[in-house]
Amino acid sequence: MKLTPLPFPITFSSIFFPLLLLRSITADDNSPVQYDSQLAVAVNCGFLHNSTAIDGRQWLGETDCASIISFHGPGSKSLVPSSSDDHRSQSLDPTPYMTARASMSSFTYTFHVGSGYKFIRLHFYPPSYSSFKSSTAFFTVKSGPYTLLNNFSAFDSLSLKSIVKEFTLYIPEDGKPLSITFSPLRANIPSDGTFAFVNGIEVVPMPAGLYYTMEEEVDGDAAAYVAGQKCRFHLGKATAMEMAYRLNIGGIKLSSVHDPSMFREWTDDSNHIIESTVFPITFTNRIKYTRKTSKDSAPQRLYQSSWSMNRNLQHGEGVSFTWKLPVDLGFRYLIRLHFCELDYDVKENGQKEFSILINNHMVEPRGDLIKWGREIGVAIHKDYLTTLRGDRLKGKRDLLVALYPRYDEQSTEFIDSILKGIEEGIQLMQRAWLG
């Protein structure tokens, strides 16, 4: 996720908060409904009435939710994908991907939601839309002082069936609603042909301390460790972030159905772990949550999978688990690592220690889950901040997260990764997209 006004931006691997569930709405009831402004909102853009997704979640139509959502966009159109893209859309949920709101001029969705920390998710399905050329879809998305997307084109990712961009930010207690504006970029194409579009928008409230530092905890241990420095970084109300990665270590993709409070998706990490001699293992242990790591931090299934490595397959003295995450230069990145010790043979502090390196910076010389959680089966997460300096125009660079378990060299048992999930987010700056 990207963060607040700082010299450069931040990216984040695996962090999230508890969400309030959507109020049940009858899908075929076209009359306006009153909604609680503190509940999660999902809008099916370009569709007039309320609808139900395959997973049972309720999405609001543009005219059936006037009490909480308003729309302004003269000249905008409600579109459906062209028939030539039917083969690509067969595995997609019609809600929200089979309708879109598009325009060659700016349009704005305004959400009358309460103040506090929010998830904002923008859904895009990049097929062909009649009367719009895909090659001219370049636009900017802004919300208040933040530029969420700049010079964005969903059509650059035609290999993907759909695209979800996720952000977190704070809505102040000034009574002003949350506005999200989509604006075509004229600079790219010297004509009136550029357009902006969106298929779905989610606004999900999150607990105040899920990713951000509570004001009463500023002097405590809740802030993120800064890699390579002996200090911490506090994520406050002025910080906005964009999610870059959210990985389920050693497990399968977890959809929003598996994360019913926050509606997050966790992808598998098989394309990011470097070691080739690992194999997945799963557990059925019930996970214990604490005040610092609530059920909203991550779903139980995330903590029940990991990788294992046979020492006999290794050469040399060192054994490690390393993940490679390609990211942009010139940003600050927030990385959340999720842990859980599920080996009941581990009974005391110091029995199973490990070290953590982020981009070759030692951030934990002697990690110990029993010391951190005090018992087996406790969900734990740790936050770290690192900066990748350089010119963003030079492309991506790999951000490395490595765990080095300490072990008895005479033992022939398997070495398990106690890492369960990675979240990485990029810092967004107020007023401008940092260059």
- Both 241 and 199 in one domain: the answer is no
| 37 belongs to a structural domain | yes
| 56 belongs to a structural domain | yes
| 111 belongs to a structural domain | yes
| Torsion (CA) 241, 244, 250, 251 in degrees, nearest 10 | 80
Name which residue leads in pLDDT, 169 or 63.
169
Q: Residues near 265 by Cβ (< 8 Å), separated by ≥ 6?
A: 164, 246, 253, 254, 255, 256, 259
Nearest of 420, 353, 331 to residue 381 by alpha carbon? 420
| 223 belongs to a structural domain | no
Whole-angstrom Cα distance, residue 182 to residue 355? 44
- Both 253 and 185 in one domain: the answer is no
| 11 belongs to a structural domain | no
- Both 244 and 284 in one domain: the answer is yes
What's the domain range around 312? 236-428
Contact 370, 316 (CB under 8 A): no
Q: What is the pLDDT of residue 18?
A: 26
Q: What is the pLDDT of residue 135?
A: 78
Contact 425, 11 (CB under 8 A): yes
Q: What are the percentages of helix, strand and coil residues in the chain, rounded to 5?
A: 10, 40, 50
Compute the Cα dihedral for 42, 46, 51, 53 and give only its sign: negative
| Torsion (CA) 237, 239, 245, 246 in degrees, nearest 10 | -10
Has residue 6 got a pLDDT over 50? no
**The domain spanning residue 57 has which CATH number?**
2.60.120.430
Compute the Cα dihedral for 368, 371, 375, 379 and give only its sign: negative
- Both 171 and 92 in one domain: the answer is yes
- Both 308 and 413 in one domain: the answer is yes
C-alpha pair distances (Å), 284 with each of 37, 39, 342, 377, 399: 37, 32, 9, 11, 31
| Torsion (CA) 265, 270, 271, 272 in degrees, nearest 10 | 90
Place of tokens 């557990």: 283
Q: Residues near 276 by Cβ (< 8 Å), separated by ≥ 6?
A: none
Using one digit for the tens of pLDDT, what is the confidence trace for 48-58?
A: 999 999 989 99
- Both 328 and 184 in one domain: the answer is no
| 179 belongs to a structural domain | yes
Has residue 326 got a pLDDT over 50? yes
Average pLDDT value for residue range 287-306: 92
**The domain spanning residue 376 has which CATH number?**
2.60.120
Q: What is the mean pLDDT of the chain?
A: 82
| 384 belongs to a structural domain | yes
Compute the Cα dihedral for 307, 313, 315, 316 and give only its sign: positive
- Both 248 and 395 in one domain: the answer is yes
Measured from the Cβ of residue 431, the count of other Cβ atoms closer than 10 Å reads 9
- Both 109 and 28 in one domain: the answer is yes
Contact 112, 39 (CB under 8 A): no
For the ranges 117-121, 135-139, 379-383, the lowest mean pLDDT is seen at 135-139
| 229 belongs to a structural domain | no
pTM flag (> 0.85) = yes
Q: What is the pLDDT of residue 157?
A: 64
- Both 31 and 173 in one domain: the answer is yes
Contact 135, 237 (CB under 8 A): no
Has residue 33 got a pLDDT over 50? no
Last residue of a domain, one of 205, 223, 244: 205
Q: Residues near 196 by Cβ (< 8 Å), separated by ≥ 6?
A: 102, 103, 106, 107, 137, 139, 140, 141, 182, 183, 184
Amino acid making up residue 219: D
- Both 55 and 196 in one domain: the answer is yes
Q: Residues near 192 by Cβ (< 8 Å), separated by ≥ 6?
A: 104, 186
- Both 244 and 201 in one domain: the answer is no
C-alpha pair distances (Å), 314 with each of 21, 275, 276, 415: 47, 10, 11, 11
Using one digit for the tens of pLDDT, what is the confidence trace for 363-396?
A: 999 999 999 999 999 999 999 999 998 887 788 8
- Total count of domains within the chain: 2
Whole-angstrom Cα distance, residue 207 to residue 258? 19
E strand segments, 361-430? 361-368, 380-388, 396-405, 414-416, 419-428
Q: What is the pLDDT of residue 186?
A: 75
Whole-angstrom Cα distance, residue 243 to residue 168? 8
Nearest of 193, 184, 29, 205 to residue 115 by alpha carbon? 205
CA atoms within 13 A on the CB side of 359: 19
- Both 68 and 179 in one domain: the answer is yes
